[in-house]
Structure 1
Amino acid sequence: MPLSPTASGGLRGAAAMSLLGCSTGVSAAFSAYPLLGGQALRYLLASVLLVPIALRSSGPSGGDPGARLPTGREFGRLVALAGTGLVGFNVLLVQALRHSGPAAVGSVVGAAPLVMAVLGPLLAGRRPGAAAVTAAAVVAAGAAAAQGFGTGDAAGTAFALGTLGCEAAFSLLAVPLLPRLGPVGVSAWATVLAVPMFSVAAVLADGRAALRRPDGSELAALLYLAVLMTCVAFLLWYRALERLGPERAGLFAGLVPITAALSGAVLGEGVPGAGEVFGAVLVGCGVCLGLRSPRRAPVGPSGLGTPESGVRAGRRSVTMR
């Protein structure tokens, strides 16, 4: 029995954000490697994997317009997506974490579902739905409760707000691209465009120190981040965005601190505390409430509704996108 668009999109969104939340240990293993050079390597490897998938998916038997060339306007939007959602997100998050604790930064970035619930409809020329905004607010509160609020200075808050904007841009800029380019095409183009951006930034910032030979644990982390956190998670997320829309897909971002806490418990880092359990309950309630709201703005080619690795604040840790 085939799944409904809501169920299919929900499963993909949950899987994408769970992969992100569970990657905190991997991010830690890669944190000593030069940031910009490491991201250039990661996206280069992901591009090598995604481009053939895009070419294959657009063939005679393919079901996704993955290799379709973007128009000039679409290309500009893809550049903006890669520059904000990938490069800007990572750089601003690192700066935020230098001024504030991960909990404080994560609490700000955790408001992404609320931002998407408001901006998604406005960018589509309609008013935000009260039910969707309420659900997103519950999810954001749950995410903040799960990771704690923490403390930080004004600069850290400013960088965290910039990170929040880039987080929302990763999805909102993709919405108009999905009907024609598809999730595979958007993922492949954004990943390819991120490589020269990170490479130029790495050379300007670090020079010859931008790259070095990774050790065994760093190489394993790089492969995980390139394959699972880019290729798999990006495809899952953009497919969820296509089916659910930004208001409802954005709710699943609240799963990041929850799955981070659960993965930490599995790895022996301690049982989740009362705040994390309470946050998980709030996130679950918010997601259920949001998925019950009507789907009003189809973005996919079939009329159905509508990531790594950078750095993302999770459960008092740094997570690569």
Structure 2
Amino acid sequence: MRRSVEAPSTGATSAAVSQVLVGTCTGVSAALTAYPVGTGQALRYGLAGVAMYALLKLRTRGGDRPRIRVRPREWALLFLLALTGQTLFNQLLLGALDHADPATVGSILGCAPVVLATVGALPAGRQPGRRIVAASLLVVAGAVAVEGFGSATPTGLALALGVLVCELAFSLLAVPLLPRLGPLRVAAYSTLLAVPQSLAIGWLSDGEAMVRMPTVAEAAALVFLGLIATVVAFLLWYSALGRLGPERAGLFSGLVPIAAALSALVLGTGTVHPEQVAGSALVGLGVALGMFAPRRSWQAVRT
């Protein structure tokens, strides 16, 4: 899969929309606070996985696209991608919120762009450009300003760091899979693998209490999270990773707290403060700086 360096507008749009959708999940997930986590994840990922697998079959049925056999190493990466980026991410996030306030967890998650900017280029033999790193620092500063500073116990900080690792794995483990498998296969297979993982964790944590019919509001939330926040957002994000690379695509994760704050304002569950407006401006400046980084920042490192 060839990355578009000179004309990244398609990748930028995909990355931006995907992260805005992820940010809006905050308000929707509030409807599931009383629903068993493992069961909710399994239903969400099951619905999304079936939808993406059906799309994959429609694309290959006509014979215009070759069938690709997934190799054992790729299955291992897909399993780890599902385990970290989907299954454990949600479990650790809920655990972190029991020992830390949302501002602290969100601020730690906001560090994802700078980590992706510094380590995302290394597997491809590139060195991170100084402008990309500077842009990611602006995004992190803006995301922290939007989230605000909070408090946490040592356990909460450790769990929040685990959430950050899972967030990074969701992108970095997908990078070597995308050139051969493509965004749709990576998203569909990893999402389907997350279903039995979620059921297993749900059974260990909730036992027989994990079996419960969702209410109308819970069912509506699960459908939104499955079809919009998973199918659409995952496909757009992996498409952006293939076009932009993890360094530049990672900058757009700074949009998540902005979208969360705006969705809370629209839903009437929150307000927007001046520091959040300033933080949003910093995120926008960082994204713009990173997207227009000079081409030499993306050249391979000579060994």
Looking at structure 1, the residues matched to 243 and 232 of structure 2 have their Cα atoms a distance apart, in angstroms, of 17
Superposed CA RMSD: 1.6
> Displacement, 1:61?
6.1
> Displacement, 1:120?
0.5
Matched, 1:12 2:35: no
Determine the structure 1 residue equivalent to 2:195. Answer: 195
Map Cα deviations across residues 158-199 of structure 1 (whole Å, 9 max, x no partner).
111111011010001001100110000000010011011111
TM-score, structure 1 normalization: 0.87
Looking at structure 2, the residues matched to 211 and 255 of structure 1 have their Cα atoms a distance apart, in angstroms, of 35
Determine the structure 2 residue equivalent to 1:239. Answer: 239
> Which consecutive unaligned segments of at least 5 residues does structure 2 have?
1-5
Moved more, 24-33 or 10-19: 24-33
Matched, 1:31 2:33: yes
Map Cα deviations across residues 129-169 of structure 1 (whole Å, 9 max, x no partner).
11111111110110010010211111111111111011010
> Which consecutive unaligned segments of at least 5 residues does structure 1 have?
299-321
Q: What amino acid does structure 2 have at the position aligned with 1:10?
A: A
Determine the structure 2 residue equivalent to 1:253. Answer: 253
> Displacement, 1:266?
2.0
Matched, 1:218 2:222: no
Do the aligned partners of 1:38 and 1:211 also contact (CA within 8 Å) in 2? no
Choose which of 46, 49, 52 in structure 2 pairs with 1:47: 49
Determine the structure 2 residue equivalent to 1:204. Answer: 204
> Displacement, 1:5?
4.1
Secondary structure at 2:228's aligned position in 1?
helix
Determine the structure 2 residue equivalent to 1:71. Answer: 71
Determine the structure 1 residue equivalent to 2:82. Answer: 82
Map Cα deviations across residues 47-88 of structure 1 (whole Å, 9 max, x no partner).
11111111222344656x6x6231111111111101110112
Do the aligned partners of 1:97 and 1:156 also contact (CA within 8 Å) in 2? yes
Map Cα deviations across residues 207-230 of structure 1 (whole Å, 9 max, x no partner).
111120111100000100000011
Do the aligned partners of 1:245 and 1:297 also contact (CA within 8 Å) in 2? no
Q: What amino acid does structure 2 have at the position aligned with 1:180?
A: R
Q: What amino acid does structure 1 have at the position aligned with 2:27?
A: G
> Displacement, 1:297?
6.7
Alignment of 1:94-109 (within 5 A): 94-109=94-109
Matched positions, count: 293
Do the aligned partners of 1:5 and 1:243 also contact (CA within 8 Å) in 2? no
Cα separation, partners in 2 of 1:54 and 1:289, compared to 1, 3 Å: same
Looking at structure 1, the residues matched to 69 and 134 of structure 2 have their Cα atoms a distance apart, in angstroms, of 38
Instruction: Name the % identity.
Output: 50
Determine the structure 2 residue equivalent to 1:305. Answer: none
> Displacement, 1:240?
0.8
TM-score, structure 2 normalization: 0.93
Map Cα deviations across residues 81-117 of structure 1 (whole Å, 9 max, x no partner).
0111011211111111111000001100111111111
Looking at structure 2, the residues matched to 74 and 233 of structure 1 have their Cα atoms a distance apart, in angstroms, of 22
Do the aligned partners of 2:126 and 2:299 also contact (CA within 8 Å) in 1? no
**Deviating runs (4+, > 6 A) in structure 1?**
none
Determine the structure 2 residue equivalent to 1:121. Answer: 121
